[in-house]
Amino acid sequence: RGDKKQFLIDTNIGKSSWEEWEEYIEDMNDNLPDPENLSDLFDKPIELAPELIKGMLRQGHKMLIAGPSKAGKSFSLIQLAIAIAEGRKWFGFDCVKGKVLYVNLELDANSAKMRFAEIYNKLGQGHANVHNIDVWNLRGKTSPMDKLAPKLIRRSQKEGYIAVIIDPIYKVLTGDENSAHEMANFTNQFDKIATELNCSVIYCHHHSKGSQSGKNSMDRSSGSGVFARDPDAILDLIELPVTEDRYTQLENQAVCDTYNAAIKSYNPTYNDISLDDTFSVKQMSYHLMCAIKSKEVLSIVENNRKKSVELARQASAWRLEGTLREFPKMKSINAWFKYPIHVLDDSLGDISLEDDPKEKWKKGVQKSNESRSEKVSKELEEAFNILVAGETSIDVGQVADYLDISKSALYKRIKKHEKFEVVDGIMTKKED
């Protein structure tokens, strides 16, 4: 070049295209951690991530709540946001106090505020730390999860959230929920959020179609099995079949609670109510009449009674089951969903789920046994009718020979049959 001689040093080196160079540079800067040697494994104690929900979820881990429509999943997530903000219990589990971001993808902003206010008021424990809750209202402004995650991370890096709640995920779902590959890419976005913000990511998903009672809690979520394998904690809500007697009991308790609240409000000096009385509508009606004389006040109480009965009738019973990666298997938790909160009730624990495989098997065996019993009974009647030939009795030995069974076996069959009896070895038909 000019007066300088040039030399060809080598050929066919480097990459053949720009795309290959891009991939090479990305691999050089992958930001992946190096392999860690375990030579010092026993030299110092291993520090696990702190528990966000004691016995259920660690900070920086992921949790999925699954359930059918009308299970109150969104209400339970708002209850969880409040429990974390205030450092209270959620479904009986202690929560660490801290800041939480609630990503609202479904409700308009004011409806979301109203729902938080209703739940706070219903819980009745004050709202001293409501400032720990941030709500990101994205209804009508949302984007797929792979686009939303970087924006969420950028806005939240300096906020110090210990939990991010995304409700509901179908609004940001990308790809076919039945595709393991596409759902793996989708759930990877939750990992990015948890890693970048060092916070727990909590989200809800719907059940697949059909009966859920015979399935494991991991298998009830709709779509790919990735939803069952990816989270560190999977909680599942399934509805319990409630009898009329149980609803009547719930209504009676609602009436007792209404009367008790009225007495405390309008006549706080009235102290004649025993603990047993608070469970009896008759006794609480008596105390109400003794404590409150004003017809106007009694009219207000009556209106409140009607509302409480109506709400009790609208309540639904649910069982919360869980599959946990970091903790031992949790016990099932039973609760009423009394709008707008879930209220624990251990008495629901004796309810068996419909289509329980064990119960189904028992019913099948019972039906089989019943069919066999009916068959044996008919065989005995036919043998008797054939052998008596117009008479009213027959020797048991003849019947046993005809049926090709022993006399002891025949005696057992006759004893179980309502129409026959044996006296001195003679089988006769009982009189009607």
The token duo for 134 is: 């941030």
Kindly state whether residues 131 and 230 are assigned to the same domain: yes
pLDDT in tens, 242-289: 999 999 999 999 999 999 999 999 999 999 999 999 999 999 999 999
At 378 the pLDDT is 83
Whether 219 has a pLDDT exceeding 60, the answer reads no
Whether 170 has a pLDDT exceeding 90, the answer reads no
Kindly state whether residues 372 and 387 are assigned to the same domain: yes
Domain of residue 232, CATH code: 3.40.50.300
Structural domain including 170 reads: 51-239
DSSP structure class, residue 2? T
Which has more pLDDT, 293 or 181?
A: 293
Q: In terms of C-beta distances under 8 Å and separation of at least 24 residues, what long-range contacts does 142-145 make, across chains too?
A: 142/105, 142/171, 142/172, 143/172, 144/172, 144/173, 144/174, 145/169, 145/172, 145/173, 145/174, 145/186, 145/189
Which has more pLDDT, 211 or 199?
A: 199
The token duo for 176 is: 């076919």
In sequence order, what DSSP letters do the residues of 152-186 get, joined into one string?
HHHHHTTT-EEEEEEE-GGGT--S-TT-HHHHHHH
pLDDT in tens, 186-205: 889 999 999 999 999 999 88
At 423 the pLDDT is 85
pLDDT band at 371 (very low <50, low <70, confident <90, very high): low
At 354 the pLDDT is 60
In a domain, 296, yes or no: yes
- Give CA–CA dist 279/249, Å, rounded: 10
- Give CA–CA dist 313/365, Å, rounded: 36
pLDDT band at 222 (very low <50, low <70, confident <90, very high): very low
Question: Mean of the pLDDT values across residues 76-104?
Answer: 97
In a domain, 151, yes or no: yes
Domain end (from 209, 239, 269): 239
pLDDT band at 405 (very low <50, low <70, confident <90, very high): confident
Domain of residue 406, CATH code: 1.10.10
At 235 the pLDDT is 93
Kindly state whether residues 226 and 147 are assigned to the same domain: yes
Residue 206 CB neighbours (<10 A) = 19
Kindly state whether residues 249 and 207 are assigned to the same domain: no
At 125 the pLDDT is 96
At 348 the pLDDT is 94
In a domain, 331, yes or no: no
Mean per-residue pLDDT of the chain: 87
Kindly state whether residues 97 and 218 are assigned to the same domain: yes
At 325 the pLDDT is 92
Kindly state whether residues 119 and 208 are assigned to the same domain: yes
Kindly state whether residues 194 and 276 are assigned to the same domain: no
At 367 the pLDDT is 55
Which has more pLDDT, 222 or 91?
A: 91
In a domain, 288, yes or no: yes
Domain end (from 213, 239, 265): 239
The token duo for 177 is: 């929920």
Kindly state whether residues 266 and 235 are assigned to the same domain: no
Domain end (from 287, 314, 341): 314
Q: In terms of C-beta distances under 8 Å and separation of at least 24 residues, what long-range contacts does 89-92 make, across chains too?
A: 90/53, 91/320, 91/333, 91/335, 91/342, 91/344, 92/333, 92/344
Question: Mean of the pLDDT values across residues 341-345?
Answer: 95
CA neighbor of 183 nearest in space, from 220, 146, 235: 146
Whether 27 has a pLDDT exceeding 80, the answer reads no
At 249 the pLDDT is 93
Question: Mean of the pLDDT values across residues 68-90?
Answer: 94
In a domain, 37, yes or no: no
- Comparing 2-6, 259-263, 378-382, which segment has the lowest mean pLDDT? 378-382
At 218 the pLDDT is 47
Kindly state whether residues 299 and 398 are assigned to the same domain: no
Kindly state whether residues 235 and 252 are assigned to the same domain: no
* CA distance from start to end of the chain: 127
Kindly state whether residues 198 and 300 are assigned to the same domain: no
One-letter amino acid for residue 239 of the chain: E
Domain count within the chain: 3
Kindly state whether residues 369 and 408 are assigned to the same domain: yes
